[in-house]
């Protein structure tokens, strides 16, 4: 029998084709002027699935309240959108379809996509400067695409923000963790380079969505 905790967390995998198609798009992610913008390179878009096709919705800024994000709460953040060639590729459709099916998300419900490269050369950098947190959504997925010349970066999942993690895993090459963001908490270990004075990085997608409330 599935327990509530098991239903709140799912682990799945993108196809080899999807990973190969999505991985090259991380090489041109821009820096931003935000507090983490020098080491978390990012693009951000909102999409929706409609009749098996992915629709790129109008651009929007991203903001979280400071009771959710103690690191950059109440900061209006602007990111360049994902390239249209990435949005329209079959690998992106596969990733969003997995997310939709796992959470029984209805058609046309907005899905927010963060495409990030966390980079490091010397020392270490935080992959999750927010600490143990929730992001203010019902559903979230973290998809590791590629790790290069790094140690650390393990993805951690918690029952609450004071417990020890019950999941610690290195997400890479299309490994996808889907969790109920309003039930579980998460963060990730910092990363540092293995070969000194050479860049290391972790490429990752983060998908989020809120349940749409319908009037009765």
* pLDDT tens-digit map of 142-190: 999 999 999 999 999 999 999 999 999 999 999 999 999 999 999 999 9
Mean pLDDT along residues 18-24: 97
> What CA–CA distance (Å, rounded) separates 199 from 178?
29
CA 44 to chain centre: 10
> What CA–CA distance (Å, rounded) separates 56 from 97?
14
CATH superfamily of the 9-209 domain = q2cbj1_9rhob like domain (2.60.120.620)
User: Does residue 198 have a pLDDT over 70?
Assistant: yes
Least confident of 22-26, 28-32, 43-47: 28-32
> What CA–CA distance (Å, rounded) separates 180 from 208?
10
Q: What's the chain's average pLDDT? A: 87
Closest by CA to 154, choosing from 170, 132, 177, is 170
> What CA–CA distance (Å, rounded) separates 81 from 58?
10
Measured CA distances, 195 to 101, 145, 201 (Å): 40, 20, 12
pLDDT digits (tens, 9 = 90+) for 59-84: 776 554 455 544 454 566 678 899 99
> What CA–CA distance (Å, rounded) separates 62 from 67?
15
pLDDT of residue 73: 45
Two tokens, residue 178: 């889907």
If you average pLDDT over each of 36-40, 45-49, 122-126, which comes out highest? 45-49
Question: Are the C-beta atoms of 65 and 133 separated by less than 8 Å?
Answer: no
How many Cα atoms are found within 13 Å in the side-chain-facing hemisphere of 69?
Answer: 18
Mean pLDDT along residues 200-216: 81
User: Does residue 216 have a pLDDT over 50?
Assistant: no
**CA 208, 210, 216: angle at the middle one, nearest 5?**
160
């Amino acid at each position: 029998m599935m327990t509530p905790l098991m239903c709140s967390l799912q682990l799945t995998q993108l196809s080899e084709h999807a990973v190969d198609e999505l991985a090259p798009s991380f090489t041109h992610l821009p820096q931003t002027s935000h507090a983490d913008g020098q080491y978390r390179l990012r693009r951000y878009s909102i999409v929706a699935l409609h009749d098996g096709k992915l629709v790129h919705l109008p651009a929007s800024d991203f903001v979280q309240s400071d009771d959710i994000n103690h690191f950059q709460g109440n900061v209006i953040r602007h990111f360049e959108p994902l390239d249209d060639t990435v949005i329209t590729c079959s690998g992106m459709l596969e990733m969003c379809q997995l997310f939709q099916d796992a959470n029984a998300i209805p058609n046309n419900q907005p899905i927010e996509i963060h495409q990030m490269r966390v980079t490091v050369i010397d020392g270490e950098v935080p992959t999750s400067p927010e600490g143990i947190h929730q992001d203010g959504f019902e559903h979230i997925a973290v998809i590791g695409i590629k790790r290069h010349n790094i140690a650390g970066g393990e993805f951690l999942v918690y029952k609450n923000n004071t417990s020890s993690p019950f999941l610690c895993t290195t997400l890479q090459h299309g490994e996808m963790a889907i969790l109920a963001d309003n039930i579980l908490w998460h963060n990730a270990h910092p990363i540092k380079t293995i070969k000194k004075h050479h860049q290391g990085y972790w490429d990752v997608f983060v998908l989020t969505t809120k349940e749409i409330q319908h009037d009765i």
